[in-house]
Amino acid sequence: EMQQNIDQATSDLRETLEQIEIQNVELDIAKKRALEASRIKSEFLANMSHELRTPLNGVIGFARQLLKTPLHTSQLDYIKTIERSASNLLGIINDILDFSKLEAGKMILEKMPFALRETLTETLTIIAGSAQEKGLELVIDIDANVPESVSGDAMRVSQIITNLVGNAIKFTDKGSVILKIHLVGYDEDNITLRCEVIDTGIGIDESQQEYLFQAFGQADSSISRRFGGTGLGLVITKRLINQMGGQIGFTSAPNKGSNFWFILPLGISQFEIGEVLPVDALQHKSVLLYEPRELTRDTLNRRLVSWQLIITNVANPENLTSVLQTKNSKFDYIIMSCHGFADNASFIHLLQQAKQHTDCLILLHDCLDQDMIINVLKVNADVLLSTPVSDFTLAHHLIYPPVPSTFVSLPEQINLDVAQRLNASVLAVDDNMANLKLIDTLLKELVDNVVTVNNGADAIQQAKKQPFDLIFMDIQMPGTDGI
């Protein structure tokens, strides 16, 4: 009887094992199908990038063209809204496409020489406007020993910084956002940087922190959430950093702000990128620095110390007044912030006083009011610089101060009617009619002779007929493609 029971149990077990085996095979097949479906979906999206971006390019381009034409106030407002909404949509599409490329393993990173500080300054200049609108102090603090000429994928480094600093600004209502970069590893061919983005924003609840680097996951996914976005920014950032051989992490507490840090390995470029400034020329020159905001003051102070200037530091208008009332105090430079003044009258009075104590008065501002910039700041300063100011820009204006009567300011908008059109012939090729029309419109503002065709075969015919100074070629076209 016992033997029979054992035989029965063994037979049942064998049957169960066979069923499990069958289920495993079925699961394996289902898993392969799911992975294949996911791969096809990701590949489809990665390949669709051109198709998705192209129509938006037309919308944004023509909205910007319309802004150049005479419009009454409400029309101007509508067009600006269209342009802004289309740009936001493009940002969302770019996120989804980048995510798909990373998923499909189609993201290829470049290794090209680039100027690190210059790239970071350009990136922050684009997003500084949103910090200025909220009255936030945006600070960029790069250690002096971090080399300028590096090699890697500048566009992706810029994207990582845009995502992290953009997030910090988005989730911070008052206080500051700092980008800190210092060197943690160095050999003949490579450097390792530790970058930190520190904000004084809303912070992230501990229960939500684990979802932060998950695709489409957001710390607040409720229906009443305050902040938009796809929830892909951090996932893309993490994957890009991992693909570069780095790592990312963060510390955060509700209402105490967040600190996102990442380790970024980069190559050292064998070539000097950008202009090398003779900073030795600044040794032992005197500078009066007035900046009431502590973080910006500390950062500026460190830069000026590294250039070996003799610094007088003041942090409030009262101390500035007492320094400027000293009869014989003369400085090679005075660097003044526009913050901390009770009213415009006292600010202008101090600017005029400061002007008598130096031949080079540099004003640092984050003002969005154009009237204030033109009527108050420009007329009372020798140099006007928008914050956060890069090391290169500041050093350049200290080494090459403006000649009296000329004024160094932010780049003015070029008046296209007055600008001389180039006597050049240009061929533009694109199979999308809206894009072709936009390229044609933009080129006709700049050059005399523009020829447009919508396919590769016609482009070859045109190029055989006449020589062109420049050809703009769409790569993806049916039939004969751009390449």
Residue 217 is predicted with a pLDDT of 56
Domains of the chain by start residue, with CATH: 12-103 (1.10.287.130), 112-268 (3.30.565.10), 279-399 (3.40.50.2300), 422-473 (3.40.50.2300)
Give me the residues of the chain with pLDDT under 70, please.
46-47, 49-50, 214-231, 274, 403-419
- Is residue 263 within 8 Å of 194, Cβ to Cβ? yes
d(C-alpha 34, C-alpha 402), whole Å: 65
Contact partners, residue 211, CB within 8 Å, separation at least 6: 217, 218, 219
**In the block, residue with structure tokens 């980048």:** 98
DSSP letters along 72-86, please? -HHHHHHHHHHHHHH
- Is residue 82 within 8 Å of 71, Cβ to Cβ? no
Cis bond leading into 388, ω under 30°? yes
pTM of the model: 0.72
* β 112-115/149-152 pair status: antiparallel
- Is residue 399 within 8 Å of 278, Cβ to Cβ? yes
d(C-alpha 320, C-alpha 312), whole Å: 10
pLDDT tens sequence across 432-480: 888 898 899 899 989 999 999 999 999 999 999 999 999 999 888 888 8
Query: How many Cβ atoms sit within 10 Å of the Cβ of residue 460?
Result: 13
Residue 291 is classified by DSSP as: -
Handedness of CA 438, 443, 448, 451 (dihedral sign): negative
- For every residue of 196-236, which 3-state class applies, written as one string? EEEECCCCCCHHHHCCCCCCCCCCCCCCCCCCCCCCCHHHH
* AA letter at 358: T
pLDDT tens sequence across 100-144: 777 777 778 888 888 888 888 888 888 888 888 888 888 888 888
Buried b (16+ CB within 10 A) or exposed e, 353-373: ebbebbebbbbbbbbeeeeeb
The stretches of 325-428 forming alpha helices (DSSP H) are 344-355, 370-372, 378-380, 391-399
d(C-alpha 334, C-alpha 322), whole Å: 15
Handedness of CA 16, 19, 25, 30 (dihedral sign): negative
d(C-alpha 421, C-alpha 192), whole Å: 46
Residue 386 is predicted with a pLDDT of 83
Cα separations in angstroms, 407 against 262, 333, 368, 403, 404? 40, 16, 20, 8, 8
Beta-strand runs (E) in 119-171: 137-142, 149-152
Cα separations in angstroms, 274 against 119, 121, 392? 11, 13, 10
- Is residue 177 within 8 Å of 139, Cβ to Cβ? yes
Residue 404 is predicted with a pLDDT of 59
